[in-house]
């Protein structure tokens, strides 16, 4: 068992202490980040972009995810490990069960899948069989070709009401955690107060129960030269990477990150 469990995260939400999550793809950063106090390490399928150099997350395979999950597991010092199921890795319930099994056996403690209320069936079956699930809502990068780009989601009122309803449905289906990406600040706050499970945000403002960033982004290194509005470079003013990650943990805990300039309005 990791030191940080689902129970730890639920307790943090209950006492109003922010949860710190950061992407991680290898053993050395797993050690550094977990020792700096990051509670949740996410093997994000963002590795398709930041490690592999693709222009989206779609080319990532289950094998890619299992390889990096196993690497993170070896370096981890007590954090909870969450791994993304990649594009088309959970198109059916059977695929979700099989591929989640592979990632759990590689070292994940939870899997993350992107979608809306349609995820309910897979979430229920996975939870019954011992796999906690984080549901990723809002801007879901695996759906970029449907969304027509990487855009803020839930700005129209009807869309916002649907997102609240979907969040409730996925909690009822047995989701262990929610992740909201690029959602207006007030909507993310409403969802976080509505569900009892922890809600992690990225580009979703300060009212969620925790924050996540892509490691490379918060270290200020980029393949494309573009940085999203919600990112902060935590290397600024720091002597090294360990200090930058510790500064991220501190800023999430004392709610100085994200600031108003990192959020989106409706
Ligand atoms: O793949 C990833 O890094 C993610 C985070 C951006 C939440 O899903
Ligand atoms: Na992802």
Distance CA 167, CA 56 (A): 25
* Residue 50, in any domain of the structure: yes
- Beta carbon of 111 within 6 Å of any ligand 1 atom: no
* Residue 247, in any domain of the structure: yes
Question: How confident is the model at residue 197, as a pLDDT?
Answer: 98
Domain with residue 92: its CATH number is 3.20.20.60
Q: Are 103 and 65 in contact (CB under 8 A)?
A: yes
To test the pocket of ligand 1, the residue of 49, 202, 231 to mutate (highest count of ligand atoms within 8 Å of its CB) is: 202
- 155: domain range? 6-262
The Cα-based distances of 239 to 33, 149, 219, 236, 252 in angstroms read 16, 36, 12, 9, 20
Distance CA 176, CA 181 (A): 17
* Residue 1, in any domain of the structure: no
Q: Kindly give the distance from the C-alpha atom of residue 48 to the centroid of ligand 2, in angstroms, as a whole number.
A: 9
Distance CA 166, CA 76 (A): 33
- DSSP-derived secondary structure letter, 130: T
This complex has an ipTM of 0.99
Provide the domain count of the chain: 1
pLDDT along the chain (266 residues), means of 10: 90 98 99 98 98 98 99 98 98 98 98 98 98 98 97 98 98 98 98 98 98 98 94 97 98 98 96
* Residue 191, in any domain of the structure: yes
Q: Return the residue matching tokens 């056996």.
A: 105
Peptide bond into 239 cis (omega under 30): no
Ligand 2 is an ion; residues with CB less than 5 A from it: 44-45, 84
Question: How confident is the model at residue 1, as a pLDDT?
Answer: 57
45 labeled binding residue:
yes
* Residue 35, in any domain of the structure: yes
- Beta carbon of 179 within 6 Å of any ligand 1 atom: yes
Q: Kindly give the distance from the C-alpha atom of residue 181 to the centroid of ligand 1, in angstroms, as a whole number.
A: 9
* Residue 256, in any domain of the structure: yes
């Amino acid at each position: 068992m990791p030191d940080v469990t689902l129970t730890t995260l639920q307790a943090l939400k209950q006492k109003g202490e922010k949860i710190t999550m950061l992407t991680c793809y290898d053993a050395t950063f797993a050690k550094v980040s977990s020792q700096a106090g990051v509670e949740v390490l996410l093997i994000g399928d963002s590795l398709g972009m930041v490690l592999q150099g693709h222009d989206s997350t779609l080319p990532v395979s289950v094998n890619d995810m299992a390889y990096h999950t196993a690497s993170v597991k070896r370096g981890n010092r007590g954090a909870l490990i969450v791994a993304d199921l990649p594009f088309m890795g959970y198109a059916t319930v059977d695929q979700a069960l099989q591929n989640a099994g592979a990632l759990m056996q590689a070292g994940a403690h939870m899997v993350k899948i992107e979608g809306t209320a349609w995820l309910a069936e897979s979430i229920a079956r996975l939870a019954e069989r011992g796999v906690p699930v984080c549901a990723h809502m809002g801007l879901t990068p695996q759906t970029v070709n449907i969304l027509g780009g990487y855009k803020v989601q839930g700005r129209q009122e009807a869309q916002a009401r649907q997102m609240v309803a979907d969040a409730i449905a996925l909690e009822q289906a047995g989701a262990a955690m929610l992740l909201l990406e690029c959602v207006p600040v007030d909507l993310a706050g409403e969802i976080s107060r509505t569900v009892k499970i922890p809600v992690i945000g990225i580009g979703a403002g300060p009212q969620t129960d925790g924050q996540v960033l892509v490691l490379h982004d918060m270290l200020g290194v980029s393949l494309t030269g573009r940085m999203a509005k919600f990112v902060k470079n935590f290397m600024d003013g720091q002597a090294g990477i360990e200090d930058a990650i510790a500064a991220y943990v501190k800023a999430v805990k004392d709610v100085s990150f994200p600031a108003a300039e990192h959020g989106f309005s409706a």
